[in-house]
Amino acid sequence: MTDNTSVRYRLDDGIAHLVLDDPNQSANTMNAAFRVDFAAAVDQLTADIDRDPAAVRGVVVESAKKTFFAGGDLGSLMAMGWEGAAVLFDEAEAVKASLRRLETIGRPVVAAIAGAALGGGLEIALACHHRIATAGKYDLGLPEVTLGLLPGGGGITRTVRMFGLQEALTGILLEGRGFKPAAALQRGLVDEVVASVDELIPAAIEWIDAHADDPDAATQPWDRKGYRMPGGTPSTPALAVMLPAFPATLRKQLKGAPMLAPKAILSAAVEGAQVDFDTATRIETRYFVSLATGQQFRNMTQAFFFDMQAIGKGASRPAGIAPRRVERLAVLGAGMMGAGIAYVTARTGITVVLKDVTLEEADKGKARAAALLDGLVAKGRLDAAGRDEVLGRILATAEASDLAGCDAVVEAVFESVELKHRVLAEAEASVLPDALLASNTSTLPITVLAQGVQKPDDVIGIHFFSPVDRMPLVEIIVGEKTSDAALARAFDLSVQLHKTPIVVNDSRGFFTSRVFGSLVLEAARMVGEGVDPVLIERAASLAGFPGQPLAMLDEVSLNLPVKIEAEAARLAAQSGAAFEPNPAMAVLESLIAQDRAGKAAGAGFYDYPVEGRKRLWSGLREQFGGDAGDDPVDLVDVQDRLVFAMSVETARVLEEGVLRSVADANIGSILGIGFPPHLGGALQHVDGYEALDGSIGVVAFVARADDLAARYGERFAPTERMRAAAAAGGTYR
């Protein structure tokens, strides 16, 4: 075969090498070229064995790329609709047929993995009889569920037969997590790990030669006589008793969210476990095609692959500025947020100076970080020496002089302009002359905060989300005088802390706080209208929100939106602008007057008993109503009010120039403020909205938004850009 193919075939001293190396891409994918070239390579392998059985004693599948294999060709899949279902089915079956021919070729086949093997890449490896990986920090896994898909190259069928139904589902398929080589070895996804790439191919050949007399080395367990599926099939009494609980457990995990991929994976796994291998793979293909030609896959893949990829490649980072790492970070304020920032920073190897007004308060913040580390030790994810090493990087202090040598600052003090001016000015006088000066504010304009320092071009917002150790997003806010160099450094710091950064322009509330407010205040507004609070919270779960809006409002405190509203009213009065109070404030103020200001106050929309779980306060119905009576509230309307409130407000933020990109909007809304992941983000929802009549896209979105506006208020009215996109029959994006 020529070198210009995506799968090169080479027979060398009795070992057939199938080298994955797409000449037109930096990574190997299951595109059209791969399908043709892989089948041709297997044809050549078969021909060589038929010509001279002694000519081939084993096969090694390897990659010439930095990664082993990246998976499916997502761009091509995104372009397919229902009209391409039959073609997609045939293409998937063709790849599976080639993999099946390889694993039944009658020679031992070894996958030599040096670099990421995700999705289709791992499925190729699973079709081999033995898998060897090099040590490293790359991932192996089947992440399709996170993109609204399922493994369509035999991944479900093979993992179920390798590990059994329960282990395959809960440990691999439904989580979609990646495993580092050592963890993959422990899990059983690979059979051996070698120290370096130089050892990889020799180890593969050595295994082939060591098993020359073992007939099982050239077969898969499920092709051997007497094979029994681990844990049994669905007809096995022990498993049959447990099986009815699988859908219920999945529903509980999803909280009722309409996620299609996990349900399809469960169905394909259970159905496939009851039939022969070839029938099982065909069942898998049918479910794969049903997902790949649906809108949910497009939504999730646009967000979690293409939009995330754009952010990861630094689309929002100024070009031409050399990367710079932070070596010593000052964190001002040792409360929950400051302690969390100190913790994640120290975990990445950066020295942290955690400063507060008193040493006692600073020590309390360090103790919070210690408690998080103790939790990792208790779970076996960190040893005592590692804990002490991380904790040793945090210096708790009340002295400004200890900030000397810091090349970056993040203040996390109370939301007061005067206080932030004071602590930033004090820090500026003590840290390195060119230090980055960042504020963790969630609402205050960065331009205003920059007025308190000598070098406003060094000031930027880096808005972390609580809890910092678990929330993956940071919102970087660019003030009027923030330099490109400061933005680049803030972006680099965020990546250094293993966070996903989005970049927005300065405005009160920025993007995330403003749009989050539109969600929770819509929920509070519905309470004031007499909508049952239980229905509101349940509707949010059914719509796919990972959190419930009234509960989230309790978490941030009811006082915060009231203060923000009061400040907005004050600014409007100063400028002479019109101001219309949000009816939700009457609900919040009523609860605050009854000492129900939120979770921190011990009561809000929910009661928080000392023992037992939180529960919605029974007094809400008595005070605001909630009994629909003869005029039942439409569940779909409640769901759409929550979702559309966020999408329309996000569009306004984009069109006002606060948001810089659609990718930042989508990723920020999902990772930061809990927008339903299956919708692909607040702006992807505009283009991917599916109406009850089956229509999809911005035209359907605009029609539904107009309907909601007519019923519930102009806040749902589509923006001019939405209307223009609908009129043109195009997309909002």
Report d(CA 494, CA 496) in Å as an integer: 5
678 carries an active-site annotation: no
| Token pair listed for 398 | 């009340």
| Token pair listed for 114 | 């040096």
| Token pair listed for 592 | 């605050």
473-478/459-464 β-pairing = antiparallel
Which residue is associated with the tokens 């130089």?
198
> What are the backbone dihedrals phi and psi of residue 113, each rounded to the nearest 5 degrees, phi first?
-105, 120
Length of the chain: 733
Report d(CA 342, CA 396) in Å as an integer: 10
Report d(CA 545, CA 314) in Å as an integer: 28
Give a three-class secondary structure readout of 530-570. CCCHHHHHHHHHHHCCCCCHHHHHHHHCCHHHHHHHHHHHH
Q: Which residues contact 42 (CB under 8 A, 6 or more apart)?
A: 98, 101, 102, 105
Report d(CA 556, CA 251) in Å as an integer: 28
| Preceding peptide of 467 cis, ω within 30° | yes
- Chain-centre distance for alpha carbon 716: 28
Please work out, in degrees rounded to the nearest 5, the angle formed at the alpha carbon of residue 456 by the alpha carbons of 451 and 459. 105
H-helix segments, 619-693: 619-624, 635-655, 662-671, 684-688
140-141/178-179 β-pairing = antiparallel
The helix (H) or strand (E) run that includes residue 393 is none
The helix (H) or strand (E) run that includes residue 467 is none
Taking CA atoms, 116 is separated from 70, 135, 190, 670, in Å, by 7, 11, 13, 25
Q: Which candidate, 243, 399, 242, 261, places its Cα nearest to that of 332?
A: 399
Identify the active-site residue in 463, 498, 678, 685: 463
Catalytic residue list: 463
